[in-house]
């Protein structure tokens, strides 16, 4: 049974002009016939404003994007087990107590979305991975790889600051056949950039996954395709993390309205 209550959802971030989320959620809400729900882009100057934004927009739930996935955590009332392990939140459910006070509960749907979209592409030789970048998205990727039993190393511009990372200059000797771009390098408008410095190393046995979805494919994936590697862009993950967020928001709403 669908919820008949009106629910306001949204995406909270600093600069949201690049976002695809509103288009996706508007289409999803229309497809489900939930016309009383709506989804808005909510730019927020600093993470400490999250309660004000939730109250002002009467939010039942929201997604969190750059640069707040980690910095929002201290302003939430609780976060679930995997979001805590990852150290980043991209989905928040807003609960209201009888006295009207808000409780904000955080989740991470990026990590299971990455896992769900990676798993069908894996071959037996994808036992070790390189994760380019060390931010919130990279941590979600690492969590998913741990669930799948795949070893990984981060690749960072400052490897001296992290014992579990290597530098880009060390990549020419790397043997990992799964490469995940979790940096913004190659994202619109800088579409002529690639985070992977040695495209000629790529082979048919490589699986190259770029979390970027605009453009699709990125220069990294175009170069990988030229070398007959298997490629995956970030769109499938974007849709999956949004669907998982909607299930979190609506799952409890449905119960409440039954």
Q: Which residue is nearest to ligand NAP (CB)?
A: 135
Contact yes or no for 14/71 (Cβ under 8 A)? no
* Catalytic position from the list 31, 49, 56, 69: 69
Nearer to ligand NAP among residue 241 and residue 253 (C-beta): 241
CB count within 10 Å of CB 196 equals: 24
**What is the spatial distance between Cα 207 and Cα 148, in angstroms, rounded to a whole number?**
15
Cα dihedral 156/70/244/137 (nearest 10): -10
Nearer to ligand NAP among residue 3 and residue 142 (C-beta): 142
Nearest to 25 by CA among 46, 45, 6, 10: 10
**What is the spatial distance between Cα 252 and Cα 14, in angstroms, rounded to a whole number?**
28
Residues engaged in binding ligand NAP (CB under 6 A): 66, 69, 110, 133-138, 156-158, 182-185, 187, 195, 211-213, 234, 237-238, 241
In whole angstroms, the minimum distance from the beta carbon of 211 to ligand NAP comes to 4
In whole angstroms, the minimum distance from the beta carbon of 209 to ligand NAP comes to 10
Cis preceding linkage at 192, omega within 30 = no
In whole angstroms, the minimum distance from the beta carbon of 137 to ligand NAP comes to 3
**What is the spatial distance between Cα 231 and Cα 208, in angstroms, rounded to a whole number?**
5
**What is the spatial distance between Cα 104 and Cα 123, in angstroms, rounded to a whole number?**
39
Nearer to ligand NAP among residue 156 and residue 223 (C-beta): 156
In whole angstroms, the minimum distance from the beta carbon of 7 to ligand NAP comes to 22
Helix/strand/coil for 58: coil
In whole angstroms, the minimum distance from the beta carbon of 238 to ligand NAP comes to 4
Active site residue 69: yes
Nearer to ligand NAP among residue 97 and residue 192 (C-beta): 192
| CA distances for 153 relative to 117, 126, 249, angstroms | 20, 13, 34
**What is the spatial distance between Cα 46 and Cα 26, in angstroms, rounded to a whole number?**
26
Nearer to ligand NAP among residue 137 and residue 145 (C-beta): 137
| Residues noted as catalytic | 69
């Amino acid at each position: 049974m669908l919820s008949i209550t009106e629910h306001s959802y949204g995406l909270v971030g600093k600069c949201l002009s690049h976002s695809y989320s509103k288009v996706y959620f508007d289409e999803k809400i229309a497809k489900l016939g939930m016309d009383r729900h709506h989804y808005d882009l909510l730019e927020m100057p600093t993470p400490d404003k999250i309660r004000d934004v939730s109250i002002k927009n009467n939010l039942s739930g929201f997604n969190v994007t750059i640069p707040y996935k980690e910095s929002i955590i201290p302003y939430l009332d609780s976060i679930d087990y995997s979001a805590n392990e990852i150290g980043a939140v991209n989905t928040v459910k807003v609960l209201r107590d009888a006295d009207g006070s808000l409780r904000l509960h955080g989740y991470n749907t990026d990590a299971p979305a990455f896992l769900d979209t990676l798993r069908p592409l894996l071959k037996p030789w994808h036992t070790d991975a390189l994760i380019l970048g060390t931010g919130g998205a990279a941590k979600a990727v690492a969590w998913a790889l741990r669930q799948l039993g795949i070893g990984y190393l981060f690749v960072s511009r400052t490897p001296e600051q992290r014992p579990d990372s290597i530098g880009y200059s060390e990549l020419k000797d790397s043997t990992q056949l799964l490469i995940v771009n979790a940096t913004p390098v190659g994202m619109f408008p800088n579409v002529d950039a690639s985070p992977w410095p040695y495209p000629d190393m790529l082979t048919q046995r490589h699986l190259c996954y770029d979390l970027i979805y605009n453009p699709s494919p990125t220069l990294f994936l175009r170069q990988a395709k030229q070398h007959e590697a298997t490629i995956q862009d970030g769109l499938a993950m974007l849709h999956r993390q949004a669907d998982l967020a909607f299930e979190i928001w609506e799952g409890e709403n449905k119960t409440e309205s039954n």
